[in-house]
Chains A and B, each alone.
Chain A
Amino acid sequence: MIRFEGAAKRHPDGTVAVRGLDLEVPAGRTTVLVGPSGCGKTTILRMVNRMVEPTAGRVLLDGTDVAELPAAGLRRGIGYVIQQAGLFPHRRVIDNVATVPRLLGWDRKRARARAAELLELVGLPPETARRYPAQLSGGQQQRVGVARALAADPPVLLMDEPFSAVDPLVRAGLQEELLRLQAELGKTVLFVTHDIEEAVRLGDRVVVLREHGEIAQLADPHTLLTAPADAGVAAFLGRDRGLRGLGLRPAGSVPVAALDGRIAYEGWQLVLDPDGRPEHWLRGAERHPAPVFVPSRDSLRSALDAALLAPSGHAVAVDAEGRAVGTASRAAVVEALAATGPVGAPLPEQVPHAGR
């Protein structure tokens, strides 16, 4: 667990980066710091591994003030991923990943074996190991950056806008990958971003910051979207909060009508392939794609989206292998929506005094 106790950073010229932060970052969860540029989020992140020394207050890592730990040793025990990946241009991918184990004194063979495991873990094909960073795409470089940060199996992972320099499609893939990794590894992740969408997607807890590292709101993503602490946070969250909040709710509550024989609604018939995977909706000579959702994995938003897009008005529920298990009408999805209770909460009368 990481704990900030009145941690402040004042630059020598008198400007204040962080006024005084009290924050607990629970172990094994992902905590996202999000806020506009200049809100001090990177400064806060770097206080953890002493790349920034607080001018007041302290930062505790598992109860120990990090200022009492030797900087190099502390850093070798904390994974760090930055925006441009920051890979060493002169080292092959495998040796980039093996950096921290080598610094910790592992022999080359063992460090490389570990690095190869990590490359596999982050979904890179084995042949990338021999390449140099400049031969990889931005997304691949970022994966290497994540693998490198994880190489010595540090309990804490600091991530400073790691995905903001790649294009949106690649970014979505990397986010997905991080969620999968985190489900598997359960690291204490402190993640910095200016992208609220990313924060809501990745965080177990989201800390919305305003100037000088003051906490505007600390909440789980759903609460954040549905009950922003004040108008400022609401504005930062942007439009369609209710709808986006649905993206965080599981689709498991949607009532699914079992498939029996031929499925047809309003003349549209669902055509399955021999394995039972939906191919398309068919009416006469007209064919339309059949949007699907996975009740156990997807969100209510995906289910609603699939129902809205289906020409028959029925989303097809599929299992993890993509085989159709049933259908859900728009009405059924809305019924599930209604059962989720209030999606929003009124704005408080007064802006609460957050932070310190």
Chain B
Amino acid sequence: MLDGEPLVRWHWLGDHLGYLADLTADHAVIALVPVLLALLLAVPLGLACARFPRLYQPLAAVFNVVYALPSLAVFVVLIPYTGLATRQTVMVPLTCYALAVLLPTAVDGLRAVPEPVRQAATAMGYGPWRRLAAVELPASVPYLIGGLRVAAVSSISLAAVGALVGRGGLGYLFVDGFQRTFPTPILAGIVLVALLALATDLLLVAARRVLAPWERGAAR
């Protein structure tokens, strides 16, 4: 940083409140819509894997490989297809990353239902699909939300990298700050990314209390 440049110029923050709010909202959309999409894909894929266990290994392998790819490289590779500086350039890979986290949690959650519970359901006359939908899936909600917490926070952090290919919500503050050697937006970006992640996580914890009330009961 330049000598004489303070770490934070408070008046800059004051002048740019609206701008920072827009970037935060943009960041939330870019980071979290892919998580929701991944959830919508992970549930049916997870159910299919639980019903036909042979599907799971190949699918898990594919998403693990995707997860291993450096995010920046993926963003760049996708530019010819989705265009530079479009939301899709960032959101497509983020969806894949979230799916790489959510698919195993969905499958593990469905499998974690105790065997006696599964047998009782079968013995009472649930067919295989109906049992998955009515017993295993709802019973695995705590697992799914656990996976969502990991996926959401990592997606919020990864989305910032998207700024390097033109879209990245709060990530733009880092690019801007480095280019101008102006630390205030960088710090603002770090704090806002952290706050967004924290808020999302708290929301998911609250969702878990509402959607899986039996877990609270068990702790009593």
Q: Are A75 and B124 in contact (CB under 8 A)?
A: yes
B138 at the interface (CB under 8 A from A): yes
Q: Which of B77-85, B111-119, B175-183, B189-197 contacts A (4 or more CB under 8 A)?
A: B111-119
Q: Are B218 and A99 in contact (CB under 8 A)?
A: no
Q: Are B117 and A135 in contact (CB under 8 A)?
A: no
Q: Tell me which of A75, A84, A88 contacts B122 (CB under 8 A).
A: A75
Q: Tell me which of B121, B218, B220 contacts A88 (CB under 8 A).
A: B121
Give the complex CA separation of A99 and B139 in angstroms.
15
Give the complex CA separation of A90 and B218 in angstroms.
11
Q: Are A72 and B125 in contact (CB under 8 A)?
A: yes
Q: Are B125 and A75 in contact (CB under 8 A)?
A: yes
Q: Tell me which of A51, A75, A89, A158 contacts B117 (CB under 8 A).
A: A89
Residue of A nearest to B218 (CB): A134
Q: Tell me which of B114, B125, B141, B214 contacts A86 (CB under 8 A).
A: B114
Q: What residues on A are CB-neighbors of B127 within 8 Å?
A: 72
Assuming A87-B117, A88-B139, A134-B217, is B123 touching A51 (CB within 8 A)?
A: yes
Give the complex CA separation of A91 and B138 in angstroms.
9
Give the complex CA separation of A85 and B120 in angstroms.
8
How far in angstroms is the closest Cβ of chain B from A148? 8
Q: Are B120 and A90 in contact (CB under 8 A)?
A: no
Assuming A51-B119, A82-B119, is B125 touching A90 (CB within 8 A)?
A: no
Q: Are A88 and B117 in contact (CB under 8 A)?
A: yes
B60 at the interface (CB under 8 A from A): no
| Chief secondary structure at chain B's binding surface | helix
How far in angstroms is the closest Cβ of chain A from B61? 28
| Chief secondary structure at chain A's binding surface | mixed
Give the complex CA separation of A74 and B119 in angstroms.
15
Residue of B nearest to A74 (CB): B125
Size bracket of the A interface: 20 to 34
Give the complex CA separation of A6 and B37 in angstroms.
54
Chain B residues 203-220 with CB under 8 Å of chain A are 212-214, 217-218, 220
B135 at the interface (CB under 8 A from A): yes
Residue of B nearest to A165 (CB): B116
How far in angstroms is the closest Cβ of chain B from A156? 12
Q: Are A132 and B116 in contact (CB under 8 A)?
A: no
Q: Tell me which of A51, A88, A90, A133 contacts B141 (CB under 8 A).
A: A90
Give the complex CA separation of A265 and B220 in angstroms.
55
B126 at the interface (CB under 8 A from A): yes
How far in angstroms is the closest Cβ of chain B from A50? 10
Q: What residues on A are CB-neighbors of B212 within 8 Å?
A: 90
Give the complex CA separation of A83 and B212 in angstroms.
25
Q: Are B116 and A85 in contact (CB under 8 A)?
A: yes
Q: Are A131 and B217 in contact (CB under 8 A)?
A: yes
Q: Are B218 and A135 in contact (CB under 8 A)?
A: yes
Q: What residues on A are CB-neighbors of B123 within 8 Å?
A: 49, 51, 75, 78, 80, 82, 158
Residue of B nearest to A86 (CB): B120
A73 at the interface (CB under 8 A from B): yes
Q: What residues on B are CB-neighbors of A75 within 8 Å?
A: 122-125
Give the complex CA separation of A220 and B102 in angstroms.
56
How far in angstroms is the closest Cβ of chain B from A146? 12
Q: Are A135 and B217 in contact (CB under 8 A)?
A: yes
Residue of A nearest to B127 (CB): A72
How far in angstroms is the closest Cβ of chain B from A72? 4
A-side interface residues toward B, CB under 8 Å? 49, 51, 71-76, 78, 80, 82-91, 99-100, 103, 131-135, 145, 148, 158
Would you give 7 A-B contacts (Cβ < 8 Å), ordered by A? A84-B114, A86-B116, A86-B119, A89-B117, A133-B214, A135-B218, A135-B220
Given A80-B120, A86-B114; 8 other pairs, CB 8 A cutoff: A51-B122, A71-B125, A76-B124, A88-B139, A90-B139, A90-B212, A135-B218, A145-B120
